[in-house]
Structure 1
């Protein structure tokens, strides 16, 4: 496997994988949402990626952070149109449907303002994301029969884009979320979450017990829904225990602040004139128990310190001048996850580390900091972005 980035800032690149070669001389920085969504290499990254393609796009977005919203919106658009047409999708159909979605979004905006105008590209990009995420389906109502026929498909896409992970094993299961957050499921637990979170919130649904290590984002609250409670955080680590057969739901906080609400009250706040609901705010080493048959929350200090750990199994690891590729392979086995990286680029990277009770995110951050790299979660796997270590030696 070989991979060369000649100019990642402009998107100019050359890469080869086996007998297939791609020669790209493209300035992706100038691409709109629609242009990205119809680009062959971009669509392959979203729908059927290879390690080389994933490496290119993750590196490109890391070095062009101002274009990341455009990239995320284009991904949403590709997924939506692909779900409608499945195997019948071709370049012509893709371009036509993307153009139609944007046109309808613009038309609705123009009608609401009572005038015809050319909308700024930034609004168009936001409208595309709004449409394909299922939040703006009403834009299609009253349009042509062809457009109306798309509505149920887009609604279905919203449901199909939800992923379900159930742990039926005796071991804990590590689940990687698209925002770099991590959920650790115990036996008999299930988590439901979207492939990509929308811009307003990060919502997951839990049955059973899981420890969450959430990436901080004040603009995008993280919500854990159980049958009776909603736990809301901006970025922290905590555990939720909510088995259907038990009479209680428990939330314990390791770091940061967590708000917990009765689910019925939280869901009715949007349509209610009452803006205050009876939730509780938890600080580190605090817990709250929701008593189901009494429909009330009871706050206190954490009674079982073991609940504050990401894993109930001690995962102590010691590495002494080990190749980082070997370290990453060990983490893959320990956590049951996939870590993607370029072996040649990391060939000269060697680290020493001792891990005790750190979370997976803390371990990944430490490793990446040691070798001057970074990482992101893409399609349920960790992708390492690195320039290598040879220059530092």
Structure 2
């Protein structure tokens, strides 16, 4: 290949190299590219992905070399001509990129380390921290080192983090991330939103969609969803966040939709209702002892009936 100093900024090899560098490790953003070489490589990657076999750089190169041979009509290429030089250079770049992306994705794949079913479960972490998982929640290990302790949460959990000024403890949901040094907080990921409540210490709360962050003090909460730009901070009552730890659901002027969403998470069910009902507000409390009792209590308050339509699905209809 020519010396880098002699390569024009408009050189197709250089442009493709920059595209790949900017995209790593998420090469899927290049799928919209019109480059024929990238198209063939994505087809190959998809095919080996379906067969659950590792990506082979040699196989990719063999396919590219065969393609070049067919296009030039030669049985074997001994010297790359300018007409096919781009394919060779780009192929080497993309082979490295695809192999690196494959290894990156596998090395950073989350590992399930804790799961709760019908009851809450408390998990002890290696650094002495603990997590109480709300029913039907999961905790994954993402990145553990001397400097970081990274986890991923689905559902909801109460975190008691051991203070360590030399280590950043972080938890991600589908839409947010919490970073702390030592604290107690509750993080949830249900109802199409992620919410955090800080009980002790101090945390940084980030929307993964916009990358905007806020810092919370004890007694404050914040919620993000897929449309959140900058997370907003609210001073809130602790009992509305810690109630499930006492097997209770407390709601104060809460939308029925939010109450139903919380029940869906806690009991692993799905509830349907008319939009008008979902917008009504409720205040009160119910014991989360068993689902039939909870639904019966809500029927009295809402003036309607829950009908089971499937193994884990219900429909609420008002009596009026």
Give the TM bin, normalised by the shorter chain.
0.3 to 0.5
Q: Which TM-score applies when normalising by structure 1?
A: 0.34
Higher RCO (Cα < 8 Å, 6 or more apart): 1
Q: Which TM-score applies when normalising by structure 2?
A: 0.41
